């Protein structure tokens, strides 16, 4: 009788867990289809039934992140709190640990931008969180690369440590050629020829879409967008998901306008062309990225005096996703991986591309 009851209880718990996980995945899909408010309501109902559901808190943290960049009433502290609860209730899950570390970095970075005095302790906490990720998964290259940037690109009084940066960069170089190159690139002197640096890697690996992308980005920093586009196109031919690089070309020309309003008439038509090309590209952009691009097009049309077209496009974007990103940078792609998948997306807090 005891064995039978125990089996029934275990089966019941297993059913509830599967149902909860299915609801979290449903919430993720709702957010990805532009229904963030419905996703939030569903996640809150899951957490109300099970206040220790780690996956629900992880997805809630990402939803809060997405709503924040979309103008929602969310604070960074909310994201950090939810991410912390995800790790608390499933401390062995490296996906949750990685996202928690990035949430901490986001918090520290905003403190840097605002010139707050407490930057160093926030950076130290961030480094500690990435160290914890590596204890769970020593070959999590993206987490190690964040440590290279933190230790190598920040001054000592903000938590930097050049020796640690070099140590992690050397470790990465032994583990993975591409990420090792990324790490060493982060530590290059400011006046280094980054085009030549990445072309040296390309010479022995000319079909690697990641390295082709890096060469293209190096050309953007060199104010040579035509060469950048050439390498981006080569990367897209090998890996169609690299169509997101079109957004970097659009943003490059948009930033030129922000720096010099006298070139509006020559640069903004280029921005418009790249954004329209991205919206028509294959694979079709997911709704959060589609509406982000539409939002940039709204700005372009307003600058060009196309008020009616801008208002129409804004209405279409809001109808698809009321919380589409209003930020200038491309939304972080790790927000768009399913919650049961280890994310290998990386973005730099210190570089626009």
For residues 345 and 336, what is the distance between their CA atoms, to the nearest angstrom? 10
142 lies in a domain?
yes
Cα–chain-centroid distance for residue 134? 19
3-class SS letters over 170-231 = HHHHHHCHHHHHHHHHHCCCCCCCHHHHHHHHHCCCCCCHHHHHHHHHHHHHCCCHHHHHHH
pLDDT for the residue numbered 153:
96
pLDDT for the residue numbered 108:
97
- Give the structural domain span for 122: 109-187
Burial group, residue 239, by CB count within 10 angstroms (0-12, 13-18, 19+): middle
118 lies in a domain?
yes
Can you tell me which residue has the tokens 């920093």?
Answer: 221
122 lies in a domain?
yes
Can you tell me which residue has the tokens 């010099």?
Answer: 260
For residue 116, the SS3 value is: coil
- The tokens describing 121, both together, are 């302790």
pLDDT for the residue numbered 20:
72
41 lies in a domain?
yes
250 lies in a domain?
no
pLDDT for the residue numbered 16:
53
Query: How do residues 74-86 score in pLDDT, each as one tens digit?
Result: 999 999 999 999 9
Asked if 326 and 295 count as a contact pair (C-beta separation under 8 A), the reply is yes
Q: In the chain, what is the straight-line distance between the N-terminal and C-terminal CA atoms, in Å?
A: 63
The percent of residues above 90 in pLDDT, for the chain, comes to 93
150 lies in a domain?
yes
Number of domains forming the structure of the chain: 2
78 and 117 together in one domain: no
pLDDT for the residue numbered 247:
98
Asked if 143 and 130 count as a contact pair (C-beta separation under 8 A), the reply is yes
pLDDT for the residue numbered 6:
42
The tally of CA atoms less than 13 A away on the side-chain side of residue 255 is: 14
Tell me which of 187, 215, 250 is where a domain ends.
187
14 and 86 together in one domain: yes
Asked if 219 and 231 count as a contact pair (C-beta separation under 8 A), the reply is yes
pLDDT for the residue numbered 17:
57
CA angle 86, 47, 288 (to 5 degrees): 70
For residue 141, the SS3 value is: helix
For residues 32 and 319, what is the distance between their CA atoms, to the nearest angstrom? 14
124 and 161 together in one domain: yes
Contacts of residues 73-79 at CB distance under 8 Å and 24 or more positions apart, as own/partner, are 76/103, 76/106, 76/107, 76/110, 77/107, 79/103, 79/106
Which CATH number covers residue 168? Answer: 1.25.40
Burial group, residue 119, by CB count within 10 angstroms (0-12, 13-18, 19+): buried
75 lies in a domain?
yes
Q: Which residues contact 344 (CB under 8 A, 6 or more apart)?
A: 141, 142
Query: How do residues 34-65 score in pLDDT, each as one tens digit?
Result: 999 999 999 999 999 999 999 999 999 999 99
Ranges under pLDDT 70 in the chain: 1-19
């Amino acid at each position: 009788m005891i064995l039978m009851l125990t089996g029934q209880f275990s089966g019941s718990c297993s059913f509830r867990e599967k149902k909860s996980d299915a609801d979290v995945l449903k919430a993720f899909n709702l957010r990805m289809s532009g229904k963030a408010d419905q996703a939030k309501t569903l996640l809150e109902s899951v957490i109300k039934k099970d206040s220790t559901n780690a996956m629900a808190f992880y997805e809630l943290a990402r939803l809060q992140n997405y709503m924040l960049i979309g103008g929602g009433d969310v604070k960074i502290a909310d994201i950090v709190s939810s991410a912390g609860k995800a790790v608390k209730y499933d401390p062995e899950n490296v996906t949750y640990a990685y996202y928690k570390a990035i949430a901490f970095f986001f918090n520290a970075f905003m403190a840097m931008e605002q010139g707050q005095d407490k930057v160093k302790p926030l950076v130290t906490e961030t480094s500690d969180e990435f160290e914890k990720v590596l204890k769970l998964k020593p070959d999590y290259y993206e987490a190690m690369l964040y440590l290279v940037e933190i230790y190598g690109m920040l001054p000592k009084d903000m938590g930097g440590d050049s020796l640690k940066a070099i140590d992690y960069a050397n470790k990465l170089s032994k583990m993975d050629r591409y990420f090792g190159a990324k790490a060493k690139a982060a530590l290059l002197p400011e006046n280094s020829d980054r085009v030549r640096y990445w072309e040296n890697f390309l010479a022995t690996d000319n079909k690697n879409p990641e390295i082709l992308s890096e060469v293209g980005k190096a050309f953007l920093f060199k104010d040579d967008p035509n060469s950048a586009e050439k390498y981006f196109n080569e990367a897209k031919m090998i890996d169609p998901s690299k169509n997101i690089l079109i957004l970097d070309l659009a943003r490059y020309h948009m930033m030129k306008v922000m720096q010099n309003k006298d070139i509006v008439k020559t640069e903004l038509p280029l921005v418009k062309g790249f954004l329209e090309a991205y919206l028509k590209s294959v694979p079709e952009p997911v709704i959060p990225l589609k509406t982000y691009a539409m939002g940039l097009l709204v700005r372009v049309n307003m600058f060009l005096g196309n008020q009616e077209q801008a208002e129409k496009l804004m209405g279409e974007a809001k109808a698809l996703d009321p919380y589409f990103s209003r930020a200038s940078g491309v939304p972080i792609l790790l927000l768009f991986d399913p919650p049961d998948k280890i994310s290998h997306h990386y973005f730099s807090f210190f570089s626009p591309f």
